[in-house]
Chains A and B, each alone.
Chain A
Amino acid sequence: MDPECARLLPALCAVLADPRQPVADDTCLEKLLDWFKAVTGAGSSLLLLQEHPCLVELLFHVLKPQDLSSRILSFTLRLAGIFAAQENCFQFLQGDPSLFVASAAGQLLVRVLDLALRGPAEGHVCPQAWDWPACARKVVCHLEDCLRSEAAPRVTQALHVLTTTFGHCHGLWTQGLWARLSPLVARLLEKDPVPAPHALVDLLLSVARSSVLSSDPGLWETAAQALSRLSPTQAGPLAAGILKLQDCPQALRIQAFRILLQPLAHVLEAAAQGPGAPRLLEGAAGDLMAVDTFPPSRSACVGLLCSALAHLELLQPLPQRPSPWPQAPLLAAAVTILRFCNGSAAPSSEAGSRLCTMLVGCVRVQRAALDFLGVLSQGLGPQELVTQVFAILLEYLVSPDSSPTVLKKAFQATLRWLLSSATPPGCCDLEPYAQLVLGELLAVLQKRLCSPCWEVRDSGLEFLTQMTRRWGGQGSFRQALLGSEVPELTRQLLQDPESYVRASAVAAVGQLSSWGLLAAPSRPEHPDVPQKTPLEELLLVLTTDSEGFPRRAVMRVFTEWLRDGYADVAKDPEQSVAPVLQAASRDLDWEVRVQGLELALVFLEQLLGPLGPSTAAPPGALTQALQALCRVQLFEFALRSLFDCDRPVAQKSCDLLLFLKAKATPSGSQQEVGDGPNVASVEAALRRWQAGEQGQPLGELAPETVLAVLRSMDLEALRDTLAESSDHVERSPQSLLQDMLATVGVLGDNEADCY
């Protein structure tokens, strides 16, 4: 702790202990805690307490029953937790109605237990209860009482404390604690209904994840019991958690997986038209249907299905996912759910009719199922099912009833399935079936790009951009696209009233034209109007669009074009880049300016080669490059940006100039350059800019002047200064303490006035 803070600390502690001096802002207390964490992390907390008795006083002070605000109490408890000291604190107030105080008290209990039990356990395998210090015994008895209690809040509170304990503490002593408390936990599972099911699941998962405890076979029995006792909705998170564990008994994994599969299996059974339909779980159909998987209420049913889908979606990409992974029936289930949701499923069973009524038109389930379907594209499936997948996706894309969010998910899932259907793997061509789908997709896209709803137009454009990025060079895609209205509609959307759509249209136009898919259409009705090139059109957006998003998008497209050597730009990069840089340098949006500097950097790299071990450019190339840079007025832009009021712009500019400096100055050989009159005038201009005067232009610069200016500037130091956040002064602990004291200082003055 620095001396200035140490000086301020006693006054602050006094303020905190004084109930008449309310602390206005919770965030300063949070910041204070963060600071204490940093301080104790750096040195001994014992020493800290010894050096600053005011802290101990503060802790003792709050123990006295008095009218302290709950936020101060919570703060102090957490501070005490940080110091992991004053073990008798815990008796105070765990049942406080304030959630924050209760949570802080819970955390403190955990720290107390840890501190109390860690010490004696050193060297011992697992201390027995009678070896525990008195305070630990007291804590444990308290927890036992809570677990035996009939009051659900007390049970929950104890479970929370235990969850935190086993989550944070991994000493051997936790084995003893679990051994002592696990029978009580198991007994909770025998009650009907099971109290605090969510907290119980959290606890079991926390224990299961603990490296010290997961070898306990009793744990897995309790987990299995929980899986069978909890309702499907409550058991879902536990099942998902178990399946994510690296090591756990196979039987339990099977049981857990069954829980997650059950709702989907039910859907498949309900939709089954006869024997031979795909099944997710073994067992007679009657058995499955007999288990009343779905709760009667619509919202609960929807919730269960959505959470099952979300859990399975997260599980799919994991290496430890259950094996064999029932890819085909899962695909069938996802498709069936989507059919129920859009009313196209025609179940013959009563359960099916019920599901149909509950799911039809349900946007939540549609979104979850489409996400899941998208993830399933990672695996293979029988061709017949893949055909069904594309068919249902198309149904959703075509249907006017698909909400904008559902449509976006449908576009995403379609893209994933198209990507996965490239055969053979690694080949970029679409498989024949996907090529067939493509025609219909483009017809849908055409209509969606005309939608009155801007979200729909936007996601349509995003989809188009991604498709083009992947297949722009591929024959069948090019043919289908050029045969449709899509490129022309995309171009028209550059004038969309919604700025997000214009930004997406810019990206799409960039992608289409880089593949040569935006050839100027022949418009028989306006033969005399010359069609603008995409480059001109985007430049127009950059210079005239009133919103930032489209202009940023334009800058990204230009950067990409330059980097990838897009023909229209590559034939004369300097000519193409110059107007863009000029426009970007004057832009009011700082992100556009940053993008402008990024574009400049790419341009520079193309002229001078990338930054590498042999950085210096050959002198001839350097001179030519510098001349080109002067012509496009890059230096004025870059030097001005050094003093940009938006830090990222200044940083980017600094990086750019450093790059140039490295290229221009071979390491180790400092060239002698005299200060010419030009340099002096440039430096004078820079000083004025730094002082905030922006008006003065630099005028034409000669390459030598530029080099001289670069050498004379301490760009490295500037970079370091810029690297510090702009509020680094305001964020210092000293400033925090001063601020807190200043706000309460006002109160002190008023108080004095009263006398």
Chain B
Amino acid sequence: MLAEFSPPGTAPSPTSRYEGLRSEYCLSGHPTLPCNVLKFKSTTIMLDCGLDMTSTLNFLPLPLVQSPRLSNLPGWSLKDGNAFLDKELKECSGHVFVDSVPEFCLPETELIDLSTVDVILISNYHCMMALPYITEHTGFTGTVYATEPTVQIGRLLMEELVNFIERVPKAQSASLWKNKDIQRLLPSPLKDAVEVSTWRRCYTMQEVNSALSKIQLVGYSQKIELFGAVQVTPLSSGYALGSSNWIIQSHYEKVSYVSGSSLLTTHPQPMDQASLKNSDVLILTGLTQIPTANPDSMVGEFCSNLALTVRNGGNVLVPCYPSGVIYDLLECLYQYIDSAGLSSIPFYFISPVANSSLEFSQIFAEWLCHNKQTKVYLPEPPFPHAELIQTNKLKHYPSIHGDFSNDFRQPCVVFTGHPSLRFGDVVHFMELWGKSSLNTVIFTEPDFSYLEALAPYQPLAMKCIYCPIDTRLNFIQVSKLLKEVQPLHVVCPEQYTQPPPAQSHRMDLMVDCQPPAMSYRRAEVLALPFKRRYEKIEIMPELADSLVPMEIKPGISLATVSAVLHTKDNKHVLQPPPRPAQPTGGKKRKRASDDIPDCKVLKPLLSGSIPVDQFVQTLEKHGFSDIKVEDTAKGHIVLLQEAETLIQIEEDSTHIICDDDEVLRVRLRDLVLKFLQKF
């Protein structure tokens, strides 16, 4: 029996790894926003539920304030001048964008019946953004497991996303361009966008709430039983508040699921590596997206460029998520601004969830790194952004409307979303500051290509700096981790098994392990490489009482058992066999067959080995002569030439081959048995 591991949608097949590989399903998976399904011991487990938002880069930004520039962009027409798409597609500096509500590329929902998924395990708040699509629209009836910070911050991210999109209602919804025949005529990257027909608009707050209500909260190292067959356990992964890796194990098999993890000392609790040891299979996802960028260097670069711009009288825009790296950036800036003489520069954090995010971060003490935890007992706020807020250096607002417009002072630094630059308050600042070369936009989130993000704002005078800060594991750290935890097999997205396409010589930028990692890609099914060899079986006490163990070697005893195997809810129990019904009624005529019991009399079991020399001596003692011994590949042949008899001794069998002389055979058999233990 094989355990199966499949990205969603593919019918699991134990026979071929590549059965699910058909060209129409061949979408590029997103290794940092995973969504995989693991079939393991009759349970179906979805691992993470990431939402690929890069599809939104094909859409025009949603401006908060009417933007004449965006609304006056020329419509796009085909080469032959046909302009039937000019309402849906707009052209900006040589790029074509869809003028519609942005849409997201969902995980595959067609290829596997997602209503069969028993549980969903979430590893961090970035990897749950597709949850409402799965729980609300697929017939899913199972349970979702996640830690409390993951749920709370995940809710904030979803709330922000919904808010960003809903507060700029857009009447138009473009669909003509998705027609396959038309899409072929479009310029890149629209032409190459995959599965556009399945792209969906953003969910609603109602769906978010319903999805989140299906989540059951768990704590690190908590053991959760699934149907008696499997136990799942979240472990700290060191990447974000409440982020986890998962152990999925039965009595004899262990699968580790490593999602976004970090070994750097940032704000979350450090990664638990020890518990990942002794895994049969380790599924490795969520590594750093920019393996060549060292987070420390990037933070330095971020600070230098920020200071340079502000000193020069310019403003700095930092497109970001409302939680995560922003906490660390604020902490770095807290230490840096005084030394760089920037104390008088205001820092603004604008997000519908800015306040909740800053406050949540301070209350999840038990999920923080040790240093921050100890602060709570002083008592001090674990993050220094509390002090920045107190001293009015950091101010936060739900949006650019309202109080912000009264307080707004330049030059300043603004942290706001969304990092795709397609919706959120960031759109307004891009429009406002884009024309001046004094200003700088600094990209710190690694999820989007900054060049693509900037495309609808071209031509742009403001400076652009790319400092992606991705604290997730890099390949050197992975290599150390794998050496440390030594899984029997590693399974990872195919992107990790070869150097990045642009740097094909960088053999250091891939997972290097023995045996080589098994790779998978979207819409592919992978048979996990362990065979189940054992099951745990309980023995009922009365049956156990009846056993008579015999010690065959010091410390090893054996007993024969006759029982009925009872299996229910993935638990196996040996019960005493039913007694044969006692004959009732009067005496019946005794038949010969009545002497034979119901069960065949068991022959004793034998164990031990036959020492050939001693056996030969014994034969000689018993009058056999002319004995010859031959060595064979599997043991020995003892030849009794006179008696024309052959005794073939092998590790697990002994044959006496004689010419129809039953007396001789029995004599020889008894001599053989003298050397063996019976029970």
Contacts and interface: CB of A to CB of B under 8 A. Distances in A.
Interface stretch (B201-209, B290-298, B548-556): B290-298
A621 B155 CA distance: 86
B558 interface: no
Interface stretch (B118-126, B182-190, B269-277, B304-312): B304-312
Interface string A421-461: 00000000000000000000000001110111100100000
Nearest to B292: A343
B651 interface: no
A453 B300 contact: yes
Interface stretch (B165-173, B336-344, B353-361, B571-579): B336-344
A452 B341 contact: no
Interface string A328-348: 000000000000000101111
A353 B292 contact: no
Given A356-B507, A450-B307, A497-B338, A400 B312 contact: no
B212 interface: no
A315 interface: no
Contacts of B332: 452
A739 to B, nearest CB: 49
A346 B298 CA distance: 24
Contact of B341 (A353, A485, A495): A495
B339 A356 contact: no
Nearest to A403: B297
A452 B336 contact: yes
B179 interface: no
Interface string A612-638: 000000000000000000000000000
A347 B313 contact: no
B467 interface: yes
Contacts of B195: none
Given A400-B467, A453-B300, A525-B313, A343 B506 contact: yes
B520 to A, nearest CB: 25
A347 B340 CA distance: 41
Contacts of A488: 311
A400 B341 contact: no
Contacts, number: 73
A247 interface: no
Contacts of A456: 300
A352 interface: yes
A453 B467 CA distance: 16
B508 A447 contact: no
Interface string A39-67: 00000000000000000000000000000
A447 B338 CA distance: 17
B505 interface: yes
Contacts of B339: 452, 496-498
Nearest to A493: B341
Q: Is the interface of A mostly helix, strand, loop or mixed?
A: loop
A694 interface: no
B311 A347 contact: no
Contacts of A347: 505
B577 to A, nearest CB: 63
A492 interface: yes
A139 interface: no
B308 A353 contact: no
Interface in B298-348: 298-301, 303-305, 307-308, 311-313, 332, 335-336, 338-341
A45 B341 CA distance: 69
A447 B506 contact: no
B614 interface: no
A320 interface: no
Contact of A452 (B294, B303, B312, B504): B303
A14 interface: no
A337 to B, nearest CB: 15
A343 B503 contact: yes
A216 interface: no
B297 A447 contact: no
Contacts of A453: 300
Given A346-B505, A452-B332, A485 B311 contact: yes
A357 B509 CA distance: 9
A352 B294 CA distance: 23
Given A343-B292, A401-B294, A492-B311, A450 B506 contact: no
Quick one: which of A354, A360, A485 has the most chain B CB within 10 A? A360
A489 interface: yes
A446 B292 CA distance: 24
Given A353-B507, A357-B507, A450-B340, A400 B300 contact: yes
Contacts of A492: 311, 341
Contacts of A485: 308, 311-312
Contacts of B294: 400-401
Contacts of A497: 338-339
A466 B413 CA distance: 34
A307 to B, nearest CB: 23
A492 B341 CA distance: 8
Interface in A345-384: 345-348, 352-354, 356-357, 360
A360 B312 contact: no
Contacts of A360: 506, 508
Nearest to B467: A400
A356 B467 CA distance: 24
Contacts of A496: 339
Given A401-B294, A452-B340, A497-B339, A447 B304 contact: yes
B308 A450 contact: yes
Contacts of A348: 505
A357 B479 CA distance: 13
A653 to B, nearest CB: 38
Given A343-B292, A485-B311, A485-B312, A452 B304 contact: yes
B308 A356 contact: no
B507 A447 contact: no
Interface string B502-543: 011111100000000000000000000000000000000000
A451 B505 contact: no
A543 to B, nearest CB: 21
Contacts of A354: 507
B301 A400 contact: yes
A400 B505 contact: no
Nearest to B307: A450
Contacts of B311: 450, 485, 488-489, 492
Nearest to A496: B339
A356 B336 contact: no
Given A450-B340, A451-B303, A400 B508 contact: no
A676 B508 CA distance: 86
Nearest to A404: B300
Interface string B458-472: 000000000100000
A347 B307 CA distance: 38
Interface in B214-259: none
B297 A400 contact: yes
Nearest to A346: B505
B592 to A, nearest CB: 80
A525 B314 CA distance: 13
A451 B339 CA distance: 10
A448 B340 CA distance: 12
Given A357-B506, A451-B300, 17 more contacts: A353-B505, A353-B507, A354-B507, A356-B506, A356-B507, A357-B507, A401-B294, A401-B297, A446-B308, A447-B305, A450-B304, A450-B307, A450-B308, A450-B311, A451-B304, A488-B311, A495-B341
26 contacts: A343-B292, A343-B503, A343-B506, A348-B505, A353-B505, A354-B507, A356-B506, A360-B508, A399-B297, A400-B294, A400-B298, A400-B467, A401-B297, A447-B304, A450-B304, A450-B340, A451-B304, A452-B299, A452-B300, A452-B332, A452-B336, A452-B339, A453-B300, A492-B311, A497-B339, A498-B339
Interface of A: 343, 345-348, 352-354, 356-357, 360, 399-401, 446-448, 450-453, 456, 485, 488-489, 492, 495-498, 525
Q: Which 7 A-B pairs have the closest CB atoms?
A: A400-B301, A400-B297, A450-B307, A450-B304, A497-B339, A452-B303, A357-B508
